[in-house]
Amino acid sequence: MSPFKTPVATSADSRDHRGAWCNHLPFGIIPDIMDIVILLGAPGSGKGTVAAALAGRGGSFNHVSTGELLRAAVAKGTPAGVEAKSYMDSGSLVPDAVVAQMVKDVVDAASGDAATMLLDGFPRNLAQAEILEKMGAPVKKAVLIDVPDGIIQDRIAGRRTCPKCKAGYHVKNLPPKVEGVCDKCGAQLTVRKDDNPETVRDRLAVYHRETEPLVAFYENKGLLARIDGTRGVEATCKAFVEAAGLK
């Protein structure tokens, strides 16, 4: 499942859950011993690619992808994962605060490393941003990787995925050595259902409706930086590091 299709509640969907979780905050407060940088941008803008590239270089970067976080928490059977699974099994959306608990769990686990946490996919809406504030999260910057919708649609249309080892490719930007064949395990590459044109348009519509308001939210707090995401990965990573004030 794509992280962009993770069943996470929107601000409208989660009104019944926000009061109990936000007011009492059973998940506690995030200690102010690390920097948190939020990656903003539409699906396909390169948030995950940039965060993974920086984390892969070692050092103090820790990439937290909410989609992967949810799947891992469910697989491990953590308290938040068990609760999330109960919603997913019933076909309901996972409340924003349950996702927040998962983020809190992984931040706590890495707190001894004093790492810079790169949050990819959280917050996804204003409700989650409010929860993050109530948790006392030390947000250093929110960086918008700005890419026009037309370019995003072209990017996603070229994605290919290995169904066996889950390696990702792109027909133009990251092609396999042999067309249609995974470099790592030799399986035939496929196009994910999430990457078909109609689904991409739906995902972009959800982004503009639910997530894009975060741009104004963090801009009003003086925390927003914008970078051009239409360039290559290396150039985008460099711009991201500079915009976020990281080393």
159-161 vs 168-170, strand pairing mode = antiparallel
Residue 72 reports pLDDT greater than 90 = no
- Each residue's pLDDT tens digit, 86-140: 888 887 778 888 888 888 877 777 655 557 889 999 999 999 999 888 888 889 9
**Given the residues 47, 104, 155, 160, the one annotated as active site:** 47
Q: Establish whether 155 is a catalytic residue.
A: no
First to last CA, the chain: 33
Residues 223-231: what's their mean pLDDT?
A: 96
> Among the CATH numbers 3.40.50.1000, 3.40.50.300, 3.30.470.20, 3.30.1540.10, which is that of 7-145+214-228?
3.40.50.300
Give residue 4's pLDDT.
29
Angstrom distance (rounded) from CA 189 to CA 235:
28
H or E segment at 47? helix 47-56
**Given the residues 18, 104, 155, 203, the one annotated as active site:** 203
Contact (Cβ atoms closer than 8 angstroms) between residue 60 and residue 140: no
**Given the residues 134, 140, 164, 192, the one annotated as active site:** 192
Angstrom distance (rounded) from CA 123 to CA 64:
11
**Given the residues 18, 141, 155, 159, the one annotated as active site:** 159
Residues 210-232: what's their mean pLDDT?
A: 96
Contact (Cβ atoms closer than 8 angstroms) between residue 120 and residue 63: yes
Q: Establish whether 192 is a catalytic residue.
A: yes
**What is the pTM assigned to this prediction?**
0.76
Residues 7-31: what's their mean pLDDT?
A: 40
Only one residue has tokens 């989609």, namely 67
Contact (Cβ atoms closer than 8 angstroms) between residue 16 and residue 200: no
Residue 244 reports pLDDT greater than 90 = yes
| SS3 label, residue 24 | helix
Contact (Cβ atoms closer than 8 angstroms) between residue 135 and residue 25: yes
Q: Establish whether 159 is a catalytic residue.
A: yes
**Given the residues 104, 124, 141, 160, the one annotated as active site:** 124
Q: For the chain, give the mean pLDDT.
A: 82
Which residue did the predictor score with more confidence, 202 or 12?
Answer: 202
Give residue 22's pLDDT.
37
Residues 207-235: what's their mean pLDDT?
A: 96
Residues 214-231: what's their mean pLDDT?
A: 97
